[in-house]
Structure 1
Amino acid sequence: MVARVRTVAFQGIEAVPVDVQVMIAPGKVNMHIVGLADKAVAESRERVQAALHASGLSMPSKKVTVNLAPADLPKEGSHYDLPIALGLMAALGAIPGDMLAGYVVLGELSLDGTIAAVAGALPAAIGANAEGKGLICPFACGPEAAWA
């Protein structure tokens, strides 16, 4: 099963839709993030694993592939942490896979599972509204996102 969560990439002040696709499959135990991700996104793997552990969930003893699509669009920043974690939770069956279909998600995870503020809540909210979706973001970003 492939779990999907919508997020955004930032190009200037514009938010461009990005699909986070998470698949768990038999294979060497590892987590790969593909789709033209920068160093902060690649480091997301460690933050997501630690946050899931802190929340009482464990990583599967399988191969986890995270695809950030479209693959040719550069992805920068730590705001991909929360959508990756939620996609992984959906792929594990910890949350219903369709639960997030009506939302755009962004947020950075701390190692203890708390959600930290990120830049770009307003353009993300504008982009979510344009798609007819709600926005899931860190509480601290709520006032900025509310302007949309």
Structure 2
Amino acid sequence: MVARVRTVAFQGIEAVPVDVQVMIAPGKVNMHIVGLADKAVAESRERVQAALHASGLSMPSKKVTVNLAPADLPKEGSHYDLPIALGLMAALGAIPGDMLAGYVVLGELSLDGTIAAVAGALPAAIGANAEGKGLICPFACGPEAAWAGKDFDILAPRS
């Protein structure tokens, strides 16, 4: 099963849609992130694993592949942590995958599972609103995201 979560990449002040695809399959126990990711995105693997462990979930003893599509678009920053974690949780069956379909997600994870603020909440919110989707972002980013519009669903958890 492939779980999908929508997030964004930033090109200047524009938020470009990115599809986070997470697949769990038989194979060597490891987590690979592919799709033209920079160092901060590659380090998401460690933050996601630690945050899930702190939340009482364990990584599967299987091969986990995370694809950030489109593959030719550069992905930079730590805001991919939360969409990767939620995609992994959906692939594990810990949350229903379809509950994320109506949202764009961004946020950095701390090792203890809390969600840290990230730059770009307003452009992400504007992009999500234009797609007819809500936004899941860090609690500290909620007020900034609210500038995207009145009839717009924003979920801003702390952890």
Q: Is the partner of 2:20 in helix, strand or coil?
A: strand
Runs of 4+ in 1 over 6 A off after TM superposition: none
TM-aligned CA deviation for residue 102 of structure 1: 0.1
TM-aligned CA deviation for residue 97 of structure 1: 1.0
TM-aligned CA deviation for residue 80 of structure 1: 0.1
State the match for 1:107 in structure 2.
Answer: 107
Q: Is the partner of 1:98 in helix, strand or coil?
A: helix
The structure whose RCO (Cα within 8 Å, separation 6+) is larger is 1
Q: Deviations over 1:76-103 (max 9, x none)?
A: 0000000000000000000001010000
Q: Residues of 1 paired with 2:30 and 2:139: CA distance?
A: 31
- Identity rate, percent: 99
Gaps of 5+ in 1: none
Gaps of 5+ in 2: 148-158
State the match for 1:124 in structure 2.
Answer: 124
Q: Deviations over 1:6-39 (max 9, x none)?
A: 0000000000000000000000000000000000
Q: Residues of 2 paired with 1:47 and 1:101: CA distance?
A: 23
Superposition TM-score, scaled by structure 1 size:
0.99
State the match for 2:89 in structure 1.
Answer: 89
Aligned residue runs from structure 1 range 1-148, under 5 A: 1-147=1-147
Superposition TM-score, scaled by structure 2 size:
0.92
